[in-house]
Every structure is written in C-alpha cells, then in structure tokens.
Structure 1
C-alpha cells in the first residue's frame, strides 16, 4: 500500500504541476495556478500520515516505510527548485516571457551552482533522517526498526556521493573556451535542460 501511495504522490505531483502551470499561463488564471502549485506539499503530508497510521496499526517497519521517508525528504530538498525551473520554462514557452538563463557552465560560478544543488540533497537527507528517527521512536521497542535506520545510511550515502560530484566542479572547474564560445549569450550554446 505504501509503495502504491508513493507512486500516486509522484504522479499527483506532476499532474498538479501541469495543471498549475496550465492554469497560470494557458488559462491566464495565475491565482488558481498558484493555488494548485501550493497543493503539492499536501501530497507529502498525506503520505506521511498514511505511513504513520500504517505503523500505528501494527505494520512491521519495512523498506517501504523507509522509502516513503526518503521520498518526502527528496521532495523537501529538491521540489521547490524543480517547480521554479519548470515555471520559468512554462512562462517562456506559454507566457511569452524571456527565456530563463541556464545554469553557469564554467568556473567558480558553476561550482557554486552545483554546491547549491548539493545543499538540496543535504536537506533531503536531513528531512528523511528526521522522519526515520521519528518513525523509529513511534514504533518503539515493539518492532524491528533496523530497516528504518538502514535508510538513514542510504540517504546520507546519496548526499555524500552527490557532494563528491559537486566537489569536482570546485577542484577541477571547467574552463571557458577561448573567445567565450559556449557562453550564455552565444547562439551556438547547447541549452542545458537539467533543473
């Protein structure tokens, strides 16, 4: 049931996002669009409540409950950035606004950009860890909580790997080609499609 709910929340995230952007830019109803976008955190609250009820009703703590916490953490750490990125592109394509600038491609500016994204992963791991520790406390000594605490290691391992990747941009910054080819204002630049 928990895995199905995670899938429903993920699908719901994208449906609410599409509906919110469509309302804002296609239907010219910015308040309705904003209301739809603000409903997205409710999906994570529903998932959290259902997971807590499942544990309270005697379900054995398992990898499913850990996955739910990690999913909620990921949404907390990276959801806002994803919505902002897609909103900027929707405003450009559907609302006639200027194309949003892509991330910096070279030097320390790119390293700072990657560092900010990594901080989202740290937030995700911290939120997931907090939820998993709360779940462990909630279950108490009555259940085997090893599967929950194992997910804490998974969350921080993912944040650590992401941190190492972000660190490479600082240690070995990509240098801008001579003549500035490939910079933001250059027509030959390949658009960066990452959020």
Structure 2
C-alpha cells in the first residue's frame, strides 16, 4: 500500500488496464448480448482513450516536479504494448463474442505447427518490436517534455533503465517465438511425409 501512495502513477497504470478490459467487455456485451451495435462500437472505439489518459497522467506527474523512475518507465512500456497489441486483442475478443452470441463463424485457431504457426509467431514478434519501439519513443518524449536530464536519468541508466529491459523482452520473445518454430516440429506430420 505504501508503494502505491508513494507512486500514484502505478495506480493509474492499474486503473488503465482495468479500464481497457471494462470498455472491451462493455462494448462486446452491448454489441452482441444487448444488440446495441452503435453503443458497442462506440465503447470499443473508446479503448484508446485509456492510453491517452495514461500518457497525460505520466506527463503531468513529471511536469509537477516528479523524478522519473521505474514506474514512469513501466507506464511507457505499458503504453507501447497497449497500442501495439490492443487492436488485435479487440479483434480476437470480437470474433469469439460473435461466435458465442451472434451465430458468427467459429474463429480459426492458430495451428500448433507448420507455416501458419511460423507466420503467426513472426507477426506477434513484430508487434513486440513495435511495442518496445513505442515505449522507447514515449521515454524520449517524457525526457524532452521534462527538459531536465537529471530528473530523467533513471529512465536511461542504472537498474531502472528501460532500453535494456525492452531489448531483453524483444530478444526473449524472438527466441521463444519465431526462432522456436524452426525447431518445434510436428513429429507426426514429419513421419507422415517421410514415412508414408
């Protein structure tokens, strides 16, 4: 509790995450269960407002004289991932709601192996790279807005530096995603093609 009192921005990040899911859920329920298509569409379109609120809260916190730290970097990273992955999460949830509540077609699952899986992993990793790039751009924007290098040093160096963290996330995602698909084969399919 003390951490949240000392870092109110952390509470804003948590509220923004909750807000995203509330808007998404309310939009889908309105669209499919209540048959209020315009209201549902408006709620889904409103999800990026959560990202704007987070960005404004981060900027205001620093403009009031706060010193950038771990939480500000977390806010920038969260913003990057929200922007990069938010639209695909909304599309995924929309397809499943349409299937469950509006007699839509069953969404196609990504195969566990094969070329489609490989393409999927490359797409997801590309979103990760985009998310990390947005995060770094937001960090640079925050440093520029604050205009005081000594108050944003923690974002760029020391244990709370975010570029190495985002770089590590990108490298781990690559190793466990696209690279892994090169070695993760469906043995039955391989035996079927060669043993046949």
* TM superposition score category, shorter chain reference: 0.7 to 0.9
The match for 2:126 is 119
Between 95-104 and 162-171, the greater mean CA deviation after superposition? 162-171
The match for 2:77 is 70
From 23, 29, 45, give the equivalent of 1:22: 29
Output aligned runs, 1:28-177, within 5 Å. 28-141=35-148, 143-149=150-156, 150-175=161-186, 177=188
The answer (yes or no) to whether the contact 1:23–1:30 under 8 Å persists in 2 is yes
Deviation above 6 Å: which 4+ runs of structure 1?
none
The match for 1:187 is none
> How far 1:30 sits from its partner (Å)?
1.5
> How far 1:178 sits from its partner (Å)?
4.8
From 5, 15, 39, give the equivalent of 2:12: 5
Between the aligned partners of 2:38 and 2:137, the Cα distance in structure 1 is: 33
> How far 1:173 sits from its partner (Å)?
4.0
Between 165-174 and 77-86, the greater mean CA deviation after superposition? 165-174
Structure 1 alignment gaps of length 5 or more = 182-195
> How far 1:141 sits from its partner (Å)?
3.2
The answer (yes or no) to whether the contact 1:106–1:173 under 8 Å persists in 2 is yes
What is the TM-score of this pair, normalised by structure 1?
0.86
Aligned Cα RMSD in Å? 1.9
Between the aligned partners of 1:169 and 1:108, the Cα distance in structure 2 is: 13
> How far 1:142 sits from its partner (Å)?
5.1
Structure 2 alignment gaps of length 5 or more = 1-7
User: Residues 171-193 of structure 1, C-alpha deviation per residue, up to 9 Å, x if partnerless?
Assistant: 214226359x9xxxxxxxxxxxx
Report the CA distance shift for 1:54/1:96 in structure 2 as closer, same or farther (over 3 A). same
